[in-house]
Amino acid sequence: MDLRAGDSWGMLACLCTVLWHVPAVPALNRTGDPGPGPSIQKTYDLTRYLEHQLRSLAGTYLNYLGPPFNEPDFNPPRLGAETLPRATVNLEVWRSLNDKLRLTQNYEAYSHLLCYLRGLNRQAATAELRRSLAHFCTSLQGLLGSIAGVMAALGYPLPQPLPGTEPTWAPGPAHSDFLQKMDDFWLLKELQTWLWRSAKDFNRLKKKIQPPAAAVTLHLEAHGF
Residue 64 near other proteins by CB under 8 A: yes
The residue among 53 and 123 lying less far from other proteins, judged by its C-beta, is 123
Q: What single-letter DSSP state applies at residue 126? A: S
- In angstroms, give the least distance from the CB of 78 to other proteins: 10
The residue among 124 and 147 lying less far from other proteins, judged by its C-beta, is 124
Taking the C-alpha atoms of residue 79 and residue 120, their distance in angstroms, rounded to an integer, is 17
- Per CB under 8 A, the segment of 66-74, 93-101, 147-155, 209-217 that binds other proteins is 66-74
Site for other proteins in 71-130 (CB under 8 A): 71, 75-77, 79, 123-126
Q: Give the number of residues written for the chain.
A: 225
Taking the C-alpha atoms of residue 144 and residue 137, their distance in angstroms, rounded to an integer, is 10
Taking the C-alpha atoms of residue 16 and residue 170, their distance in angstroms, rounded to an integer, is 33
Residue 47 near other proteins by CB under 8 A: no
The residue among 77 and 212 lying less far from other proteins, judged by its C-beta, is 77
Residue 176 near other proteins by CB under 8 A: yes
The residue among 35 and 76 lying less far from other proteins, judged by its C-beta, is 76
- Per CB under 8 A, the segment of 87-95, 103-111, 152-160, 169-177 that binds other proteins is 169-177
The terminus-to-terminus CA distance of the chain in angstroms comes to 29
By the 8 A CB rule, do 206 and 215 touch?
yes
Angle between helices 177-209 and 37-65 (to 10 degrees): 160
By the 8 A CB rule, do 98 and 208 touch?
no
Count of chain residues binding other proteins (CB under 8 A): 23
**Residue type at 199?**
A
Taking the C-alpha atoms of residue 75 and residue 145, their distance in angstroms, rounded to an integer, is 32
- Per CB under 8 A, the segment of 6-14, 63-71, 90-98, 109-117 that binds other proteins is 63-71
- In angstroms, give the least distance from the CB of 120 to other proteins: 12
Binding site for other proteins (CB under 8 A): 64-69, 71, 75-77, 79, 123-126, 171, 176-182
